[in-house]
Amino acid sequence: MKFCRFITANGSRFGRVETRDGHDVIVEELGAPQMQVTGAGVPEQIVLPEPGAGKVLDEPFPLERARLLTPFPVVSKILCVGRNYAAHARELNHEIPAEPLIFSKPPSALLAPGGEIVRPAISQRVDYEGEVGVIIGRRCHLLAEGESAKPYILGFTIINDVTARDLQNKDGQWTRAKGFDTFCPVGPIVNTELDPWSGIQVQTRVNGELKQDGNTRDMLFTIDRIVQHISQFCTLLPGDLIATGTPEGVGPVQAGDVLEVSIEGLGTLRNPVVNA
Ligand code: MG
């Protein structure tokens, strides 16, 4: 199933999305996903509504005309993998990491599709990084080596891991450079049936010009390995988001630019850039 979250006259709603004649349209208003919790109140699992059980729209509504929100409310954290494509590590003159390199973004950095990415005044170089995003659907702790992460994944989306490159280099650790408000655009949809394991194309365009054109089969660490690695040091909770790294071709953005990250099966995440 593919779904989005959008604003209606009656508040925010989840919408089931289908591709018809090459265009993504909202065909049904879905009920809200349910969070199952343990007896101790710990989030355990997200249960999605059944397709067809909601309010089917008389007329399919074009996704590009909807007022979209981030497609899923992040519950506790956003974790990211740095340098997960060899060509990208090389373009920034970095060594290829021996194990997944993990950092985090605060949930306050989230930005809806169409929202403005704000270049902070204290940075002279802000970059785009188009990435596949993983949304956790089931609590995951101490995943065994070689075990599949699939049972713990709700679905996939697009993330733009916006980065203040000069501050990243200056600070050494990345919390500030990666964590500004608006530095985590996400969307437009979640696809629960996508298969990034078999290789899907990740493309980023700036003002229509192709800048990144990579494939998930070139990831240094697979999604299973990333989830396994993270789950050794912190429990992944349903609703958590993981950015899986960016292919080569990163570069700076200026106010007035329009960034588009497109991934097979996930559509296009489009955000304009402004100065603070
Ligand atoms: Mg990144």
On whether both 33 and 147 belong to a single domain, the answer is no
Q: How far is CA 225 from CA 82, 99, 101, 235, 269, in A?
A: 14, 9, 12, 15, 26
Residue of 96 and 46 predicted with greater confidence: 46
Going from the Cα of 161 to the center of ligand 1, the distance in angstroms, rounded, reads 5
Please check whether residues 48 and 89 belong to one and the same domain: no
Whole-angstrom CA distances from 107 to 12, 66, 74, 80 are 19, 23, 7, 12
Same domain, 87 and 9: no
Do 139 and 24 share a domain, yes or no? Answer: no
State whether 173 and 42 are in the same domain: no
Does residue 105 lie within any of the structural domains? yes
Q: What pLDDT score does 90 carry?
A: 87
Q: How many domains does the chain have?
A: 2
- Same domain as 210, residue 125: yes
Same domain, 17 and 142: no
Q: Residue 95: what pLDDT?
A: 86
| Domain membership of residue 119 as a residue range | 78-275
Positive/negative CA dihedral, 116, 117, 122, 127: negative
Reduce the DSSP state of residue 193 to 3 states and report it.
coil
With beta carbons less than 8 A apart as the criterion, state whether 14 and 34 touch. Answer: no
pLDDT of residue 94: 87
The CB density around residue 272, as the number of other CB atoms within 10 Å, is 14
Q: Give 10 Cα–ligand 1 centroid separation in angstroms.
A: 36
Distance 82 CA to ligand 1 centre (A): 5
Mean pLDDT of the region 235-257: 97
Residue 73 belongs to some domain of the structure: no
Distance (Å) from CA 1 to ligand 1 centroid: 26
Residue 72 falls inside a structural domain: no
